[in-house]
Amino acid sequence: MVLDAQLSTHFRLSEFIVSGVAERRGIANAPNDDQLGNLVRLADVLERVRRLLGQAPLLINSGFRSPEVNAAVGGSRHSAHLYGCAADFIAPSFGTPREICMRIADSEIPFDQLIFEGSWVHLAIPILGEDPRRQLLTAVFQRGYPTRYVRGIV
């Protein structure tokens, strides 16, 4: 596998697998063939998001996570990141994460889950063969408590 393979016009594999936690802890974070296929599908959806946002570059801060990386960052045991089906990103030249979420929510982009995470956007696509749920959530962070999610973009 070429770690800097071009997945789509604007996205490279390296953007989806880079992880500071993995680098610091010496954890491998390379997808298998199925996960790579999901990352290609995810990159295609993110191309649609980019067009929706007026070609604003998307800066991915988390994409694929191996089980070890996911555990190290405190990710959900059922995280779409584990399958190569999710990306956390921002698009500063477009607007705030909330503005990005609102624009995507109002579009026909086939996402499974869209979460307004405060300082970033989480977008997940469905597992291959599944229909997109178009679930909208907002993360609520409170010091000393686990993150909870409320329905909608609030």
Does 85 map to a domain? yes
Does 51 map to a domain? yes
Residue 135's contacts (CB-CB under 8 Å, 6 or more residues apart) are: 112, 113, 114
Q: What's residue 113's pLDDT?
A: 98
Q: What's residue 1's pLDDT?
A: 61
Over the chain, what is the mean pLDDT?
Answer: 96
Does 113 map to a domain? yes
Does 5 map to a domain? no
Residues 101, 90: Cα–Cα separation, whole Å: 10
Residue 84: helix, strand or coil by DSSP?
A: coil
- Residue range 59-84: mean pLDDT, rounded: 96
pTM as predicted: 0.94
Ramachandran assignment for 61, one of left (phi > 0), alpha (psi -120 to 50 degrees), beta (any other): alpha
Does 4 map to a domain? no
pLDDT at position 9 over 90 = yes
- Residue range 8-27: mean pLDDT, rounded: 95
Q: What's residue 2's pLDDT?
A: 67
Q: What's residue 96's pLDDT?
A: 98
For the chain, helix, strand, coil in percent to 5 are: 30, 20, 50
Does 63 map to a domain? yes
Total of domains in the chain: 1
Predicted confidence (pLDDT) per residue in 84-132, tens digit:
999 999 999 999 999 999 999 999 999 999 999 999 999 999 999 999 9
What is the CB neighbour count within 10 angstroms for residue 20?
10
Residue type, 71: A
**Where is pLDDT greater, at 2 or 59?**
59
Going by pLDDT thresholds of 50, 70 and 90, the confidence category of residue 4 is: confident
Q: Which domain does 48 fall in, by range?
A: 13-151
Does 7 map to a domain? no
Domain CATH code at residue 77: 3.30.1380.10
Does 24 map to a domain? yes
